[in-house]
Structure 1
Amino acid sequence: MSTPCKPQACAIQACLTKTGFDESKCTQVIDQLYECCGKFYQDKGTDARTPCCPIPSLLKLKLEQRNKEPLDARLV
């Protein structure tokens, strides 16, 4: 059985490796992971777990932060 959102999590790791761990160049793949995780929790419920996704409360916080301001690793 496949792990939910694993391709997206692996894409982040590949991007980080390719860019010398510059998160600001990987925001698109990070957003794709968060989108996948949001759908996972919507479909399976907030008690569901996958090692590729932050827990629902942390995912919600990260999404709120990204929607509030153009949070980019360059700013952190």
Structure 2
Amino acid sequence: MALILAACLTKNSYQEEKCQSQINALYECCNAFYQARGEDAKTPSCPKPNLLRLKMKQRGMEP
């Protein structure tokens, strides 16, 4: 998932607004990861759980 987002950002000169669906998909994936493995789980691709919840809330997504 992170590779797809990175490719989108590179293709669009790092304009996040052009990669919203990929960002949302990454956040959904990260949320599922933390639900399955706990908030202490480690991943290089996901924001920490508290930051993830904030970002999802800002986007109108249910964490």
TM-score, L = length of structure 2: 0.92
Gaps of 5+ in 1: 1-7, 69-76
Q: Which has the larger radius of gyration?
A: 1
Is 1:41 the counterpart of 2:34 in the alignment? yes
Matched residue pairs, number? 61
Gaps of 5+ in 2: none
Higher relative contact order at CA 8 Å, sep ≥6: structure 1 or structure 2?
1
Matches of 1:42 and 1:12 in 2, distance apart? 22
Q: CA RMSD in A?
A: 1.1
| Structure 1: 4+ residue segments shifted above 6 A | none
Deviations 1:21-75 (A, max 9, x none): 111110000001000000000000011010000000000000010008xxxxxxx
Alignment correspondent of 1:16: 9
